[in-house]
Amino acid sequence: MTAERWYRRSGDEGDVCVSTRVRFARNISKYPFPGRMSDDATRRLISETATALSKSEIGAHFRLVDMEQCSSLERAALVERHIISPDLAEGGSPRAVLISDDESMSVMINEEDHLRLQVLAPGLDVKKTLERARQLDEVFDRELGYAFDEKLGYLTKCPTNLGTGMRVSVMLHLPALEEAREIGGVISAAGGAGLTARGIYGEGSAAEGSLYQFSNRITLGYTEEEVCDRLEQVARQIIEREHTLRRRSLESDREGVEDRVWRAVGTLKYARRMDTSEALRLLGEVRVGASLGILPTDCGRLNELLWAVRASNLSLSAGKELSPSERDRRRAELLRGIEEGSFKI
């Protein structure tokens, strides 16, 4: 039986917080950094990493995916679902990823560092996500041995990852802050707290569909708990402000808000062509409608659609590379499954 994907669930503050992610950058002490390794050494690393995980209790719930055996479409679909990074997808040397059955955990092998361990969770769930990431981390430290320095912490290829080697982030849906033109101030304030804001796919990506990733900027000089506590505190402040603005908008113009939500539902139900940008915008309106009690929609189903409407995942589900116009038609067909605010996929 196939495990339920993590993004089909809605967690704490799920109407605003789509997901929480914890990522560790790690290197194995007996190997040189990636880029200085031979292909044979890299393949040994892949094999040893898979073997190490297989010795743990959770190892049975992972599969190994060799990037060299994947099509460009399969790799792009993994990027769209946040399972791997663009760097891993596009790299030229041997590389692989271990993926858990529910896709909430992945171990990228031979990306910028030997290992990039990632754990994802729906909603705002920083502490439990960190705990799960640590459990995964301990497996490889015990079996393979990390490169570690008492003063510098975990040794990484990029100096910005020294120390904990950890990036913790939350993805937030912030249309009300955008509409009130407060998003710039929020991003600036987050920067003052040691966080950085990026688009839906991290550094260099756009904030499509009013989706923003907030993550820690500094990894050296702070404990993992301190970094996580700071991020969660700022995230809850942003979420509270977004909720306040949504409620204020409903109180001042209920009919106008309801009209926008139901217009979005109508378009999703009847459109015959739709590009990604429009789909994300309309799904955002439905999410706001669910948040304000206008629609009975499950935000977990909305989360799933954030990835399902993407170009490569649409093509992958069709079993072939689709043209842009074919994708627009297939995307609209997928989204026509909406019925009275409930998605049937």
Q: How many CB atoms lie within 10 A of CB 159?
A: 11
Interval 258-265 mean pLDDT: 95
Q: Give dist(CA 138, CA 113) in Å, integer.
A: 17
Q: Give dist(CA 333, CA 330) in Å, integer.
A: 5
> Which residues have a Cβ under 8 Å from the Cβ of 29 and sit 6 or more positions away?
145, 146, 147, 148
- Supply the Cα-derived Rg of the chain in whole angstroms: 21
- Proportion of the chain above pLDDT 70, given as a percent: 95
CA dihedral 39, 56, 103, 29 (to 10 degrees): -40
Interval 253-275 mean pLDDT: 95
The SS3 assignment for 89 reads helix
The C-alpha angle with vertex 77 and arms to 75 and 81, in degrees rounded to 5, equals: 120
Q: Give dist(CA 81, CA 93) in Å, integer.
A: 22
pLDDT value, residue 9: 84
Q: Give dist(CA 264, CA 248) in Å, integer.
A: 20
- pLDDT tens digits along 177-215: 999 999 999 999 999 999 999 877 655 556 788 999 999
> Is residue 174 predicted with pLDDT exceeding 90?
yes
CB 110 within 8 A of CB 45: yes
> Is residue 323 predicted with pLDDT exceeding 90?
yes
Q: Give dist(CA 114, CA 116) in Å, integer.
A: 7
Q: Give dist(CA 307, CA 86) in Å, integer.
A: 15
Mean pLDDT, the chain, as a whole number? 91
Burial 211-249 (b: 16+ CB within 10 A, else e): bbbbbbeebeebebeebbebbbebbbebbebbbebbeeb
Amino acid residing at 45: L
Residue among 294, 287, 334 at smallest CA distance from 315:
334
pLDDT value, residue 291: 93
Of 3-7, 60-64, 115-119, highest mean pLDDT: 115-119
Query: Helices then strands (H, E): number in the chain?
Result: 12, 12
Which pair of structure tokens corresponds to residue 342? 């409930």
Residues in a beta bridge with 186: none
> Is residue 343 predicted with pLDDT exceeding 80?
no
The SS3 assignment for 99 reads strand
> Is residue 254 predicted with pLDDT exceeding 60?
yes
How many residues can be counted in the chain?
345
The SS3 assignment for 36 reads coil
Phi and psi at residue 201, in whole multiples of 5°? Answer: -115, 30
Interval 37-54 mean pLDDT: 95
- pLDDT tens digits along 270-306: 999 999 999 999 999 999 999 999 988 778 788 889 8
- pLDDT tens digits along 144-162: 999 999 888 889 888 888 8
Taking CA atoms, 36 is separated from 94, 145, 165, in Å, by: 13, 19, 20
> Which residues have a Cβ under 8 Å from the Cβ of 306 and sit 6 or more positions away?
7, 18, 209, 211, 280, 283
Give the global pTM. Answer: 0.91
- pLDDT tens digits along 89-141: 987 789 999 999 999 999 999 999 999 999 999 999 999 999 999 999 999 99
pLDDT value, residue 341: 45
- pLDDT tens digits along 201-251: 655 556 788 999 999 988 878 889 999 999 999 999 999 999 999 999 999
Taking CA atoms, 243 is separated from 180, 249, 251, in Å, by: 12, 10, 12
Phi and psi at residue 125, in whole multiples of 5°? Answer: -150, 60
Structural domains in the chain, sorted by start: 8-243 (3.30.590.10), 253-343 (no CATH)
CB 26 within 8 A of CB 165: yes
Which pair of structure tokens corresponds to residue 131? 């705990």
Give me the helices (H) in the chain, please. Answer: 39-54, 72-80, 86-90, 126-144, 175-179, 183-192, 224-252, 254-270, 276-291, 299-308, 311-318, 324-335
